[in-house]
Amino acid sequence: MRPHRLLALLAAIRTARVSSNVLIYKRTPSSLALTSRRALTATSISSAALYSTSAMTQPTPFYDLKTQQPDGKTYDFEQLKGKVVLIVNVASKCGFTPQYKGLEALHKKYKDQGLVILGFPCNQFGGQEPGTDQEVADFCEVNYGVTFPLMAKSDVNGENVNEVYKYLKEQKSGLLGLTRIKWNFEKFLVDKEGNVVNRWASTTSPEAIDAEIAKLL
């Protein structure tokens, strides 16, 4: 091969190598950027899924509640985890007082399946619960054979509302969006995860909510 042709060939080879390196250099940052974006996206999705799972398993504030029992001891709602709970404000001299019978029937029927009924005696409606805690307990036992827990007398409305009813009303409003308790024997139903899932007026009998309770057990 003639010398001038050999020199031209060597020059062409060097040019090709430089061009190849430039192309590689230009592609590499782009590829890294794309890989980086994909990695960040995957990390974000993974983090979001982890946060979502954590939020789903977070216990509700329902289990942080406490209330007073007639003997002065504290009833801690933490013991209600995994239970279906029916909470009722009760009175001994009300037209709805016979609902004690239906409540006790629900208690006996479902207590072994995880239902807990809590009665909250209250004297805010027509002064229909005037007695002491002991008198309330005696009345319920003698007249209706009540064996489900009754809490100490307390307010369910107003400035001195107990923390349980303050929470329940915030979670589930009543007719026309009103939150206040309107009369004796209103009912709140809480599922096994501590969510307040239903609220019924005084006129709704215990028998009428049997099926709704059974669905949650």
Is 140 one of the annotated active-site residues of the chain? no
120, 77: one domain: yes
CB 130 within 8 A of CB 150: no
Q: Answer yes or no: do 13 and 74 share one domain.
A: no
pLDDT of 171 reads 95
The structural domain count of the chain equals: 2
Shared domain for 117 and 206, answered yes or no, is: yes
pLDDT digits (tens, 9 = 90+) for 48-103: 444 444 445 565 799 999 999 999 999 999 999 999 999 999 999 999 999 999 99
pLDDT tens digits along 182-210:
999 999 999 999 999 999 999 999 999 99
Check whether residue 119 and residue 41 sit in a common domain.
no
Are residues 73 and 117 located together in one domain of the fold? yes
Which of 94, 105, 137, 209 is an active site residue?
94
Domain of 101 in residue numbering reads as 61-216
Tell me the residue length of the chain: 217
d(CA 12, CA 43): 47
CA dihedral of 146, 152, 156, 160, whole degrees rounded to 10: 170
Are 50 and 132 contained in the same domain?
no
147-196 per-position pLDDT tens digit: 999 999 999 999 999 999 999 999 998 877 889 999 999 999 999 999 99
117 lies in the same domain as 24: no
29 with 70, same domain? no
CA distances from residue 100 to 4, 37, 106, 153 in whole angstroms, order as listed = 114, 64, 10, 16
Tell whether 13 and 49 lie within a shared domain.
yes
In angstroms, rounded to a whole number, what is the distance separating the alpha carbons of residues 159 and 2?
108
CATH number of the domain encompassing residue 188: 3.40.30.10
Tokens of residue 76, six digits: 């801690």
Spatial CA neighbour of 111 closest among 149, 76, 137: 149
Q: Are residues 39 and 121 in the same domain?
A: no
pLDDT of residue 140 exceeding 80, the answer is yes
Q: Are both 90 and 152 inside the same structural domain? A: yes
How does residue 43 score in pLDDT terms, banded at 50, 70 and 90?
A: very low
Neighbours of 206 (CB within 10 A): 22
- End of a domain among 57, 79, 99? 57
Task: Evaluate if pTM is beyond 0.85.
Answer: no
Contact 164, 172 (CB under 8 A): no
